[in-house]
Amino acid sequence: MTATGTGPPSTRVTGPATPDPHLAGPHHRIAPQPEDLLTSPFSEGTHTAQRVTPLEGEDLVAHNLKILRTAAQLSQQDVAERMTRLGFKFHQTQIAKIENGSRPVRFDEVVALAKTLDVAAGRFMTEAVEGPQERGYALRAARHRVQKAELAWRNARALEQAAKDQLEQARREHDEIAKRLAAHVTNAAPGPGNKPVPPRATLPREKHPRRPLTARTADRPPVWSP
């Protein structure tokens, strides 16, 4: 069933009778429709199915920015640094002003903000995400924690593999050096097929004929005692 309001375009509601649970929440204005009286399965009476009008423009961007940033466990400074890496000179105070609605935001900035939060820009600008008090928020926050843990795990695996590669390279270099040293020692030592290194040449000493002892003592003068 489709219901069309009679108000101005900014407040007119067109859509299914039952609101999308991902869009319902305190960030919408409640517009009861008399044709949507439904019998409650939990009571004897009836209740009015609440029709919602989503936030628009900068109010919607401010809401989504704050909710998605908090769910992703990012600080305002974290988002500002990501925006700076994308070419926007942002500071933490600018993110805070966007979230509280005191700073206007350009279209290209909205697209960049969606990228920093890893969400589609179209949905970021047109659909309101669930807040902390809504049932889907806990699931979204848990999903962000899973993604963050998976990223940390992949980074750890990459670091582990890099360390293993460095270890294997160091071992190969060690074995190669040890092999070269062993071959050098083997070639220098005498053995079958190896010629020993000749000793350094020395000059021969001049040899004189030894004279008989009697000849050497005969040349001495006699020693006379008184």
Is 92 within the bounds of a domain?
yes
170: in domain: yes
DSSP the chain: -EEE--S-TTT--EEESSPPTTT-STTSEE---GGGEEE-TTSSSEEEPPPEE---HHHHHHHHHHHHHHHTT--HHHHHHHHHHTT----HHHHHHHHTT-S---HHHHHHHHHHTTS-HHHHHH-PPP-TTSHHHHHHHHHHHHHHHHHHHHHHHHHHHHHHHHHHHHHHHHHHHHHHHHHHHHHHS-BTTBPPPPPPP-PPPP--PPPPHHHHHHTSPPPPP-
Encode pLDDT of 73-119 as tens digits: 899 999 999 999 999 999 999 999 999 999 999 999 999 999 999 88
User: Which residues are registered as beta bridge partners of 2?
Assistant: 16
Has residue 85 been placed in a domain? yes
Instruction: Please tell me whether residues 64 and 80 are part of one structural domain.
Output: yes
Number of domains in the chain: 3
CATH code for position 72: 1.10.260.40
Is 21 in contact with 49 (CB distance < 8 Å)?
no
Same domain, 121 and 78: yes
3-state secondary structure 135-154: HHHHHHHHHHHHHHHHHHHH
What is the structure's pLDDT at 47?
A: 33
Low-confidence ranges of the chain (pLDDT < 50): 1-53
Q: Residue 23 domain-assigned?
A: yes
- End of a domain among 11, 35, 53? 53
Q: What is the pLDDT at residue 49?
A: 31
Q: Which domain holds residue 61?
A: 57-126
pLDDT value, residue 116: 93
Residues 92 and 48 in one domain: no
Q: Would you state the pLDDT for residue 73? A: 87
Q: Is residue 203 part of a domain?
A: no
Residues 121 and 75 in one domain: yes
Residue 117 lies in a domain: yes
Measured distance CA(18)–CA(199) in Å, rounded? 106
Are 72 and 121 within one domain?
yes
Q: What is the pLDDT of residue 3?
A: 40
* 176 domain-assigned: yes
104, 126, 148 - which closes a domain:
126
Q: Are residues 29 and 71 in the same domain?
A: no
The last residue of one of the domains, among 126, 155, 178, is 126
> Within this chain, do residues 80 and 105 fall inside the same structural domain, yes or no?
yes
Examine the domain organization and report whether 85 and 25 are in the same domain: no
Per the domain annotation, does 154 fall within a domain?
yes
